[in-house]
Amino acid sequence: QIATEIVADAAAVAERVSDIILARVRAQPRLTLGLATGRTMVPIYQRLVAAYRAGTVSFRGCTTFNLDEYCGLAAHDPASFHTYMRASFFDHVDLRADHAHVPDGMAADADGESLRYERLIAAAGGIDLQVLGIGINGHIGFNEPGSPLRSRTCRVTLAPETRAANSFSFGEGRAVPSHAITMGIATILDAREIVLVATGRDKKRAVEAALNGPVSEDCPASALRRHHHACLVCDEDVLVR
Ligand code: GLP
């Protein structure tokens, strides 16, 4: 089951989730962290950067693995998750550049890149703490409804609703990529601890399906109920206390 913590609003969610991350990094300076992108994560990274600037944490010993990247977007592309991560976190803390991993969306051989990513995670000793957002359709990473619950890192096709939800990052007239490389659902479940984060009314249905619906490919986030150390932190727009 997924332990659930409901707090007042998005700011309280960011405070709680950043406190969990900071506590783990302080307790285990060589922590391997799984990281997510998306709007939900923005205030969380702001708090992590603020803690680093205040001198209360160091990420120097940490290794990070991002969940996903769009296919066909170079690392320097303004809409790439590489750029998002540099702008919101990597460029502002003491994490070593060679310890910060994001799948290569430009890889000509997506299967080879996926295998390389899996091996990198394994070589780092696996992920200690995976932070996850959730899509309005219940996706985690870019594992859309219908993805096998046993999937490993691979190239996937994005759902129309996901491309629409993420179109804000792309300039007018610029299409959202049709494919991405994402950690698989089984890859995510291998993490020793998972924190799922959700804010806002548009996540209510997906979160309710994940918590109370069947554990099924129809709602990839429902797979988290098979994990023994997964929690959800959300606000009152998502669930009532
Ligand atoms: C995106 C990302 C996920 C993210 C989720 C929610 O498409 N691939 O990693 O957690 O969808 O995004 P947001 O926080 O913007 O709602």
| Range 72-101 average pLDDT | 98
* Cα 98 to averaged position of ligand 1 atoms, centre (Å): 24
182 has which bridge partners? Answer: 68, 154
pLDDT for res 170: 96
173 has pLDDT over 90: no
Q: The sheet that has 154-157: what strands, in order across it?
A: 68-70, 179-182, 154-157
* 67 close to ligand 1 (CB < 6 Angstrom): yes
Task: Identify the pLDDT of residue 66.
Answer: 99
- Sequence-separated (6 or more) residues with CB below 8 Å from residue 44: 14, 17, 18, 21, 131, 197
**Spatial separation of the C-alpha atoms in residues 102 and 168, rounded to whole Å:** 21
**Order of strands, sheet of 3-7, starting from the edge strand that comes earlier in the sequence:** 3-7, 230-235, 193-198, 129-132, 32-35, 63-66, 100-101
Instruction: State yes or no: pLDDT of 238 exceeds 90.
Output: yes
SS3 179: strand
Rounded Cα–Cα distance for residues 161 and 139 (Å): 11
Interface confidence, given as ipTM, is 0.96
For the question of residue 66 being annotated catalytic, the response is no
209-237 residue pLDDT tens = 999 999 999 999 999 999 999 999 999 99
The pTM of this model reads: 0.98
37 Cβ inside 6 Å of ligand 1: yes
Active-site choice (77, 82, 128, 137):
137
Q: How far apart are CA 173 and CA 109, in angstroms?
A: 28
Confidence class for position 206, pLDDT limits 50, 70, 90: very high
**Structure-token pair, residue 139:** 């996706």
How close is the Cα of 31 to the center of ligand 1, in Å? 23
Would you kindly state where each structural domain of the chain is located, as residue ranges? 3-210
> What confidence score (pLDDT) does residue 15 get?
98
Q: Which CATH architecture has domain 3-210?
A: 3-Layer(aba) Sandwich (3.40)
The average pLDDT across 140-149 equals 98
pLDDT of 1 higher than 90: no
Is 162's C-beta closer than 6 angstroms to any atom of ligand 1?
A: yes
